[in-house]
């Protein structure tokens, strides 16, 4: 499988690898997996409770190059965004940016899920109601 240049770039120089303290009330953690390939992805964000701006984002992914690139890109994109803005990131945006082939689309789905899961976790910590189906930002 030939990876696109952008995937290779993220794979060789992944951004924001690492972890944030899970217990920190301002940190949201999303752990998601794609059983068909055995990938697991952990994405964490530190969110300012006043401004709702994502100040820091870290990830750790065990999986293929596309999964690593998708999560690396996701952390880059969410940094500096508000929670609402981050929730509007779609897996198709990631597919386009990284030129993922159809067989690797699930990697981008995983990254989108991880963003939603991390924000959902943070909201839960702050007692914010999480809608059943996250609405697309207005």
Partner 1 sequence: MSMPATSKTNAPAQDYFAIFGLPRKLWMERDALEQKYLQLSWKLHPDNFVNATEEERERSLRRSSELNDAYRTLEDPVARVEYLLSLENMRKEGEHKQQAPPELLEEVFELNESLDELREAKSAGSDLASLKSRLESAEKNFGEKLGEVDAQLQVTAREWDDALDRNADDVARRKIMGRLNELLNRRSYVRNLVVNVAKELGEA
| Residues carrying an active site annotation | 37, 107
Beta carbon nearer to partner 1, 60 or 125: 60
Structure tokens at 94: 């990631």
Euclidean distance between CA atoms 10 and 106, whole angstroms: 17
Beta carbon nearer to partner 1, 81 or 107: 107
What is the Cβ-side half-sphere exposure of residue 60, based on CA atoms within 13 angstroms? 5
Q: How far is the CB of 56 from partner 1 (least distance, A)?
A: 20
Euclidean distance between CA atoms 122 and 14, whole angstroms: 24
8 A C-beta contact, residue 115 and residue 74: yes
Q: How far is the CB of 51 from partner 1 (least distance, A)?
A: 30
Q: How far is the CB of 17 from partner 1 (least distance, A)?
A: 11
Q: Are strands 27-34 and 39-47 parallel, antiparallel or unpaired?
A: antiparallel
Euclidean distance between CA atoms 135 and 132, whole angstroms: 9
Return residues touching partner 1 (CB under 8 A).
31-38, 40, 42, 60, 62, 102-103, 105-106, 109, 113
DSSP letter for 54, please. E
Beta carbon nearer to partner 1, 102 or 131: 102
């Amino acid at each position: 499988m030939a990876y696109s240049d952008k995937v290779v770039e993220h794979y060789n120089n992944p951004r924001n690898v690492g972890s944030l303290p899970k217990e920190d009330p301002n940190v949201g953690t999303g752990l998601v997996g794609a059983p068909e390939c055995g990938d697991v992805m952990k994405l964490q964000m530190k969110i300012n409770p006043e401004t709702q701006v994502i100040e820091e984002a870290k990830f750790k992914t065990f999986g293929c190059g596309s999964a690593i690139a998708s999560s690396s890109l996701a952390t880059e994109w969410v940094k500096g965004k508000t929670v609402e803005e981050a929730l509007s990131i779609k897996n198709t945006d990631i597919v386009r940016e990284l030129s993922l082939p159809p067989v690797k689309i699930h990697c981008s789905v995983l990254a989108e899920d991880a963003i939603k899961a991390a924000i959902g976790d943070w909201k839960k910590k702050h007692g914010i109601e999480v809608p059943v189906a996250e609405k697309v930002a207005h």
